[in-house]
Structure 1
Amino acid sequence: MSDDAPVEPAPAAPAPARDAPVVVAVDGSAGSDHALEWALTAARLRNAPLRIVHVRQYAMPLADGPYMPTIDHRSDADPVVDRVRGALEGRADLPPLTVEVVEGSPGRDIAPLGDEAQLLVLGSRGRGGFASLLLGSNGLACAREAACPVVVVRPDAELTAGAEPCVVLGLDPLSPHDDTIGFAFVEAALRGAVLRVVCAYPGPVLVYTATGDFVTSAEADAATAAHYTELAGEQLAPFQERNPKVRVEKEVLPGDAAGLLVDASREADLVVVGRHQSRMPLGRLMGSVTNAVLLHAKGAVGVVPPEHR
């Protein structure tokens, strides 16, 4: 992008239909309990209905026997649904909601729930023995495939009492996504939160000297930081004009973007990152930064698909 190239104004993304639900997938785990609470708040903030879905997967036995008990799939009783209904019973602050069971495979059938949703919310799961990882293969598949933004909620994040609400946006000034920026502004506006924009640039900047050595250059580093700051300001300006009540704090820092965002997530209500669309034959893939943030961030992470409206 040349310095004198005209900056196109960011297109205004149409708002989702007011009757489009927030969808939350539950499975009876503590992680899905936290996701349910997060989704309840999201639905209230949007004045949207909440659709609570349990994708139930049972292995169908090939034959009756002592090691292959027969399962009655006709029964409406479901312990996960009973747990959800028990948790919501008697609460007065509930949005319009439905609770339902879908027979199928979570890895295959959760992502399509986002086709007609404003937002798809999932709980986190550790993968294998790595407690520091945010979620497992089903969550990664949903973040990679869903048509709407996906929010993954981690249960062990606790913000400091009285801390100012904060939404963190990971912005790559060299490859910005208007839809990701717009989603972050909407979330900050709904929550009355400050929007903290984190931009990473490769640094410290090294220069080649006449003696054949590479050394750090404070001047070159400052110039790179100034260039990224200018680009970020140009990309954010149209959204700031449309959301004047959202206070924006820009941080342009040298280093690894994923590491900076994981650090920022410790004091954030939500970290927002974009999902890069892959054109490889293997199918849809997420960029390394988004993948790393999903696996290691604290709190909630929102992944916005390309061209989301």
Structure 2
Amino acid sequence: MTHAPVIAAVDGSEHSLKALEWARAAAVRHGTELLIAHVLPDEAQLYAGRRSSLHDTSEPEEYADPVHDRIRSLLGSGGKLPEGIRYEPLEGSVPEALRVIGAEARMLVMGSRGRGGFASLLLGSNSRAVASTAPCPVVVVPHAERAAGADEEESAGRVVLGLHAAETPDDVLAFAFTEAAARGTAVQVVSAYLIPPVPTMVVDAPFVVVPPEGLPAPEDDAVPAELEMLRSQTERLAPFRARYPDVPVEQTAVPGDPAGRLVTASRSAALIVVGRHHPRRTAMSLQIGSVAHAVLHHAHGPVAVVPALTDDS
């Protein structure tokens, strides 16, 4: 998938144009083509069908596409461009059209909301459907209101990986490490564990980043669940450290809710990376994992939802 394009899904809304800017930068980082996909509105699709069925050559061959004109203006306003840029209008429903075109993508980037729906929604139905079913990683870029509390310079942040050492597919880890390598930044691995509540436990306390050499020894005064999780992380991360020796890795094992921890980390992260489905769900399940679902709805920065892309993941 090295030469696969980065696909930006646009509909002309400000949310989708923000996602386009993110996709443009990603295509530049990875040295790949940028494919801009626009699922035509219903009226444009009906026009094309009517003209074709009536064979009315007096009508213009194409329906006016103001989105295309706006994209050209945006890309021409500055910023480094990828080696190649394609614009492709699509027909059909938004989730299905993007699911089909996503089969050829390195990643598919879209805004958290489009033109439709209620302004108060944190995540639009199309974004949720595409993130749940696309055959490629889907990056959802939040709208301005949700990103308001995040750091201004997202490219300077870490790539944060939500990891369940026993269940997260290798494809999710590979995506996180590849993104960190392209950005020249670290991967911060976040895993959460549940422990019986005690009066002195403060779940909302800031978690501590532990480098590999800083892992507690068995005789140290450490929470057994934390110690076991850090060691499971280390074992699972070993082949990726070997494959990406220049990518710094920071390990964190924290009590409490994994989604909440990832949402907190998203305020200063360049990207949050999570797996899509729980392994006990079927490959064609339309439901997304509970952690991915919560992070998509509440994160303050971009979230990559990565499916298992290989049979042995």
TM-score range, shorter chain: 0.7 to 0.9
Distance 1:130 1:32, change over 3 A: closer
For residues 123 and 271 of structure 1, the distance between their equivalents in structure 2, rounded to whole angstroms, comes to 15
Deviation at 1:290? Answer: 0.7
Q: Deviations over 1:192-221 (max 9, x none)?
A: 112111110013x35xxxxxxxx6798997
Shift of 1:75: 2.2
Partner of 1:182: 174
Query: What whole-Å deviation, never above 9, does each CA across 1:22-50 have from its counterpart, x for those lacking one?
Result: 11110001111111111111111111111
Distance in structure 1 (CA, Å) of the matches to 2:37 and 2:107: 13
Contact 2:272-2:304 at 8 Å conserved across structures:
yes
Cα distance change, pair 240–255 in 1 and its aligned pair in 2 (3 A): same
Where does 1:41-190 land on structure 2 (aligned, <5 Å)? 41-59=25-43, 60=46, 74-89=61-76, 91=78, 93-95=80-82, 96-125=84-113, 129=118, 131=120, 133=122, 135-156=123-144, 157=147, 158-161=150-153, 164-190=156-182
The answer to whether structure 1 residue 242 and structure 2 residue 229 are counterparts is no
Identity of aligned residues (%): 44
- Deviations 1:248-300 (Å, cap 9, x if unpaired)? 11110000011111111111110000011564598332110111111111110
* Structure 2 contact 135–309 (Cα < 8 Å) conserved: no
1:26 aligns with 2:10: yes
Aligned length: 275
Which deviations, in whole Å up to 9, do the C-alpha atoms of 1:119-143 show, x marking residues without a partner?
Answer: 111111189557362x211111111
Residue correspondence of structure 1 range 181-220 to structure 2 within 5 A: 181-203=173-195, 205=196
Q: Contact 1:278–1:284 at 8 Å: present in 2 too? A: no
TM-score, normalised by the number of residues in structure 2: 0.79
Contact 1:165 1:192 (C-alpha < 8 Å) held by counterparts: no
> Structure 1-normalised TM-score?
0.80
Q: Is the 8 A contact 1:111 1:141 kept in 2?
A: no
Cα deviation, 1:143-181, whole Å, max 9, x if unaligned, reads 111111110111322424598421100001232321101
Alignment counterpart, residue 303 of structure 1, candidates 293, 302, 305: 305
Q: Per-residue displacement from partner, 1:96-129 (whole Å, max 9, x unpaired)?
A: 1011211222132112111011111111118955
